[in-house]
Amino acid sequence: MGSITLEKVSKSFGTTNVIPEIDLEIADGEFVVFVGPSGCGKSTLLRIIAGLEDVTSGTIRIDGTDATHEAPAKRGLSMVFQSYALYPHMSVYGNIAFPLKMAGEDKSAIDDKVRSAARVLNLTDYLDRKPRQLSGGQRQRVAIGRAIVRQPKAFLFDEPLSNLDAALRVNMRLEISELHHQLKTTMIYVTHDQVEAMTMADKIVVLNAGRIEQVGSPLELYRNPKNLFVAGFIGSPKMNLIDGAAAAREKAATIGVRPEHIVLSKTEGPWQGKVTVVEHLGADTFVHVDVDGVGSVTARAPGEFPVKHGERVFLTPEAEKLYRFAENGEAL
């Protein structure tokens, strides 16, 4: 109930090839996140799965049956859009009831389902309101409500949190994760925010220019990035990527070391440099250092690290947490 398979799916708009052949397996009940920079084709891929875009070639299977040319409504998927796409002239109740009404269910069944969905999403008090009378987070929940009443095989989320403010985003992130644990339905979630990807996903699909760079669990991607792109994309702050002489010493074209794998010291270490910017976050301190002969490096010190702009510090990258990349960007 809810496994999705893409076989050699490709998509072109005119002569521009946005997605060269992609193969992907999504198991039932998985929370899969498509992540990548804007314009990498992740939304297009989601819309192809939804049926809102045709594939140029390839096959989409949902629960084993070929759904490549099936109409969106017939695929049994539901989608939450970036703009929420609520129907402005309908009340919250009308919005959530709409897919059921279209499915031709009888009134009392619709009423039961809408009310139980509203209970799950804390919308019971707002059922009579129009979308314009709701806050961003409430609208988001209505959109999710509209998606869950149909009991779809899978949910598709297209950057659903990008219109919310930071605090609400963290909240909704938790709510969606909780919802996934409750419903145990397959979810596919598109975002450009790697923090959302890391915190919510069972499986992350990193996309770049329409290609899948790597597929894996969040920690797998964090520990073993397959190439430079994934290494630079996953993790915050970004991994330090260093080339030149320092890399050549490690017999690689580029070496990478995460800020949290660098030990800062005021007295000793193999790298020495001048502090350019210090960011005190309380729990952590991020220090940007212009290291002699290496370049700009970001290091993370746990807790407070008393250092000021212009001071000289010493850095020790942890040798066993050093990533080495070949000329073509692949990990060695």
Partner 1 sequence: MATLRTRSAARLMMTPAVLTLFVWMIVPLAMTLYFSLLRYNLLMPGMEEWAGTLNYRYFLTDPAFGAALVNTLLLVGGVLLITIVGGTLLALLLDQPFFGQGIVRLLVIAPFFVMPTVSALVWKNMLMHPVYGIFAWIARLFGLQPVDWLANLPLFSVTMIVAWQWLPFATLILLTALQSLDEEQKEAAEMDGAGPISRFIYIVLPHLARAMTVVVLIETIFLLSVFAEILVTTNGGPGYESTNITYLVYAQALLQFDVGGASAGGIVAVILANIVAIFLIRLIGKNLEA
**Listed residue (261, 269, 273) closest to 307, CA to CA:** 273
Give the gyration radius of the chain's Cα atoms.
Answer: 24
Binding mask 65-84 for partner 1 (x = CB under 8 A): ------xxx---xxx-xxx-
330 by DSSP, 3-state: which?
strand
Cα-based distances in Å from 191 to 95, 163, 198, 303, 316: 25, 12, 11, 30, 34
Q: Smallest gap, in angstroms, from Cβ of residue 101 to partner 1?
A: 8
Identify the residue among 41, 99, 160, 235 touching partner 1 (CB under 8 A): 99
Binding mask 275-304 for partner 1 (x = CB under 8 A): ------------------------------
Q: Is 150 in the site for partner 1 (CB under 8 A)?
A: yes
Q: Smallest gap, in angstroms, from Cβ of residue 84 to partner 1?
A: 8
The strand pair at 77-80 and 4-13 is best described as unpaired
Cα-based distances in Å from 32 to 42, 51, 209, 223: 12, 18, 19, 18
Choose the stretch contacting partner 1; rule: CB under 8 A; options: 3-11, 87-95, 170-178, 251-259.
Answer: 87-95
Helix (H) or strand (E) holding 167: helix 166-183
Say how many CA atoms lie within 13 Å of 140 toward its Cβ: 20
Identify the residue among 10, 28, 29, 50 touching partner 1 (CB under 8 A): 50
Q: Smallest gap, in angstroms, from Cβ of residue 130 to partner 1?
A: 11
Q: Rule CB under 8 A: which residues touch partner 1?
A: 50, 52, 71-73, 77-79, 81-83, 85-89, 98-99, 102-103, 146, 150
